[in-house]
Structure 1
């Protein structure tokens, strides 16, 4: 069962911005802000925002990799593994 989204009108945000930001910061859930009865914005904690951006970057890289594979662009697996081994050896 999915969670019921947290929704507040913008007037509540104006009245208690500090308290609302504290609640959002301590939660993993987004907070939907409405204006005149319609969704106007979504507020998430900085930690959740950074996590989402990291996941999006991974998805972008995967999509780019798939496009490269389809286009026949890429590197030989043996060369990649050799380079990875060299990088790991440098770190030790």
Structure 2
């Protein structure tokens, strides 16, 4: 997804910081900040940042699991269930 319409120079951010923060919080869209005509930073609301971090963490877990499968570090589910039941016989 591109955010070409959400680009502002750093001078705009300096002059309108409170308005910019209210805008990105309300719309939950990132804002690209430029300096000397070049993109330098992305500003986004905290909720969006948190969601992005959670998504990245889940993707990392998925990638690690895929690596384990590729490396043959897997066990049949029946073996795992048998082992867990042996460890916790009252949990049946």
Q: TM-score range by the shorter chain?
A: 0.7 to 0.9
Q: How many residues align?
A: 84
Moved over 6 A (4+): none
Q: Could you state the TM-score of these two structures normalised by the residue count of structure 1?
A: 0.78
Please identify the structure whose Cα radius of gyration is greater. Answer: 2
Residue 77 (structure 2) aligns with: 77
Q: Alpha carbon RMSD of aligned pairs, Å?
A: 2.3
TM-score, scaled relative to structure 2: 0.78
- Asked if the contact 1:29/1:44 (under 8 Å) is kept, the reply is yes
Q: Structure 2: give runs of 5+ residues left out of the alignment.
A: none
> Conserved in 2, the CA contact under 8 Å of 1:8 and 1:34?
yes
Q: Which residue of 2 aligns with 1:53?
A: 53
